[in-house]
């Protein structure tokens, strides 16, 4: 008899390219057979997130939870927790999820909640990281996979990748270079997390 599969829930808000990188790794590296883990569900807070269609095409359970339909951050996060917990996840991944989470939410998943952030943390926490890195004159940029704690973008670092900043970069060209690095390190960090637990 094989071991029961461990469920991963991915939260997105946008394009879903990190979700796609994770789905590809899970399939190519046979996470179900080798790591007893699977991406069980994808939850988006935006109905127009292209990542939702990606997940649907791949046959994953997809859920939409529109934050604008909730009166407060707490109400939204409580509903989000109920949705996520229905899958009894071993791991919850933020993959371009653009809502700040309440301390209650973070505490509930502490130790099994991971984010990818488009900067070399602790530099450039928060939003508009690429524009800010260019304005500061940074010569290297990058991405960070970290455990989420109540302090925004400050949890323990699991993986990082650096990329060069080119003299003629715009926020968009830099973002594309960083994103390519994200697609390498996020699946890698998740695989390592699963291997050691």
Dig out the tokens for 158 from the structure.
């699991």
Residues in region 114-143 near ligand GAR by CB under 6 A: 116-118, 127
Task: For residue 87, indicate whether it is catalytic.
Answer: no
Residue 16 CB, shortest distance to ligand GAR, in Å, is 5
89 pairs with which residues across the strands? Answer: 7
How distant, in Å, are the alpha carbons of 26, 42, 75, 162 from that of 63? 20, 6, 17, 33
Q: Which is nearer to ligand GAR, 96 or 187 (CB)?
A: 96
Residues in region 139-178 near ligand NHR by CB under 6 A: 148, 150, 152-153
Site string for ligand NHR, 6-45 (x = CB under 6 A): ----------------------------------------
Three-class secondary structure assignment of 18-86 = HHHHHHHHHHHCCHHHHHCEEEEEEEECCCCCHHHHHHHHCCCEEEECCHHHCCCHHHHHHHHHHHHHC
Q: Which is nearer to ligand GAR, 34 or 113 (CB)?
A: 113
Cα 114 to the chain's mean position, in Å? Answer: 7
| Count of residues that interact with ligand GAR, criterion CB under 6 A | 16
Catalytic residue chosen out of the listed positions 117, 130, 146, 183:
117
Query: For residues 64 and 41, is the Cβ–Cβ distance under 8 A?
Result: no
Residue 116 CB, shortest distance to ligand GAR, in Å, is 5
Q: Which is nearer to ligand NHR, 1 or 127 (CB)?
A: 127
Residue 2 CB, shortest distance to ligand NHR, in Å, is 34
Compute the Cα dihedral for 129, 160, 46, 23 and give only its sign.
positive
Residues in region 75-104 near ligand NHR by CB under 6 A: 94, 97-101
Q: How far apart are CA 148 and CA 165, in angstroms?
A: 27
106 binds, among ligand NHR, ligand GAR, none (CB under 5 to 8 A by kind): ligand NHR
């Amino acid at each position: 008899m094989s071991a029961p599969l461990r469920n991963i829930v991915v939260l997105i808000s946008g394009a879903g390219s990190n979700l796609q990188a994770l789905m590809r790794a899970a399939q190519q590296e046979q996470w179900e057979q080798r790591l007893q883990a699977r991406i069980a569900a994808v939850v988006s807070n935006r109905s127009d997130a292209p990542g939702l269609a990606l997940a649907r095409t791949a046959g994953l359970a997809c859920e939409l939870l529109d934050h604008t339909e909730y009166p407060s951050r707490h109400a939204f996060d409580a509903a989000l927790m109920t949705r996520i917990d229905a899958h009894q996840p071993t791991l919850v991944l933020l993959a371009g999820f653009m809502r700040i989470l309440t301390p209650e939410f973070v505490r509930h998943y502490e130790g099994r909640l991971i984010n990818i952030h488009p900067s070399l943390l602790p530099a450039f926490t928060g939003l508009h990281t690429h524009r800010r890195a260019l304005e500061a004159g940074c010569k290297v940029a990058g991405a960070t996979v970290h455990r989420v704690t109540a302090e925004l973008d400050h949890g323990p670092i699991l993986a990082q990748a650096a990329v060069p900043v080119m003299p003629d970069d715009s926020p968009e060209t830099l973002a594309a270079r960083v994103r390519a690095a994200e697609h390498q390190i996020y699946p890698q960090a998740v695989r390592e997390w699963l291997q050691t637990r």
